Structure 1
């Protein structure tokens, strides 16, 4: 299903996006050395409840997961990159943490992710910051390529060109996606691709773009929890994501905090 939002729905999408962006900023500020991942999950639950919003994750049960996710935010540490299921782990100096959050408010969802280093970055500082910076630049390139008349392949090509130039292997199993009244919709937005191919973008379309990379592999392994995806080699990872709306003259980032 591909949804095209009308102006009233787009206004609601802006509210949801700002909420998600604000939540991630709050969680990032609170996530310090000594913080437990389960505390981050509880904070997220409370933020969502206090805003009168709904979690897109807690009851999420797609074919690739093992039963309902059962938590409110994805917390991926170091070699984990996607669908990081919170567990009893205390953050330490130099941990590379990714928070990925999707929330629905008034019937419209928004999805965003941020990666950052906790505490003293330590000996892996250069590698961690290079990973994060590459995903952020790739995200910016994908957003810049979006606009009415552009094709999905144009966005994928822009994202993949940045990641590839930085020297990172690119996995195409998981990528960006359409979003609207539900969290995951068509079209799929691969993190690499050929320009001029795929669905043609229209004003009112919402997309969650999410470049992610692993230092030295494009292969994933699944944790025993049935959800958390890690690099097959144990290398570090990073993930950046924004929900955008295609407008009459470009794209608007919805998941920036106000």
Structure 2
């Protein structure tokens, strides 16, 4: 497993893609409302990225047909954008990878559609908290297991499920590079974190305690096995001498 360390110039390229991605998420947040469709959001994203001289990296990736993954309620990841209208109380996750001049950034965010119920709100807050707990451990000299353990502890203390098959990863000019960054682990184990590494951290949790999931027949859509709500938060970050820097903030 060769980890591709990035120069300051290369990290700046990824940061440029990340800034476009972050701005796109800010615009999506304004659009999310009952009655909006994820197909409409997907079309907006393609247009927005084109206006920035960027493209959606996952469109065409292994045959994936859309600019975004759009996952609603019990769909935890890789959902297809649809023409079905979002309803008050839904959770919708928009996940995308932006390509700017060959350099990539990846970020997912779970949004509340209007007011959500207390359990949904709790799931969202805990999953977002776990993201930042993981980022806080992305320090030179720590190991990938330290990140996973920090994410895992947040879920376990709250009694919610970790979707273990879905993990963070290295990123640069390819969407998935070493190392894998699971949302569980043991402290002081796994690949050593070094300045120049660029990774994603992306907890995906379910209200159901097992976190077990099923794949749909389309080969992409992943939903909770027990039908419980799912949430997914993800940032791309660089590990520098002084610590982690979020590139999709």
- Fold shared, TM-score > 0.5 on shorter chain: yes
Counterparts of residues 1-258 of structure 1 (less than 5 Å): 1-61=2-62, 68-121=63-116, 125-216=117-208, 217-256=210-249
On the 8 A contact 1:24/1:101 being kept in 2, the answer is no
Q: How much has 1:193 moved relative to structure 2?
A: 0.4
Structure 1 segments of 4 or more deviating over 4 A?
none
- C-alpha separation in 2, matches of 1:210 and 1:120: 24
| Structure 2 CA distance for aligned equivalents of residues 222 and 86 of structure 1 | 16
- Give per-residue Cα distances to partners, 1:126-185, cap 9 Å, x unaligned: 111111111111111111001111110111111111111111122321111111111111
C-alpha distance in 1 between matches for 2:4 and 2:41: 32
- Structure 1: distance between partners of 2:214 and 2:36: 26
TM-score, structure 1 as length reference: 0.93
TM-score normalised according to structure 2 size: 0.96
Structure 2: distance between partners of 1:119 and 1:162: 26
Aligned-residue CA RMSD in angstroms?
A: 1.1
Is the 8 Å Cα contact of residues 32 and 111 (structure 2) preserved in structure 1?
no
What is the deviation of 1:224? Answer: 3.1
**1:64 aligned residue:** none
Asked if the contact 2:46/2:55 (under 8 Å) is kept, the reply is: no
Tell me how many residue pairs correspond in the alignment. Answer: 247
Q: How many angstroms apart in 2 are the aligned matches of 1:119 and 1:174?
A: 28
Structure 1 SS opposite 2:162: coil
**Unmatched tracts of structure 2, length 5 or more:** none
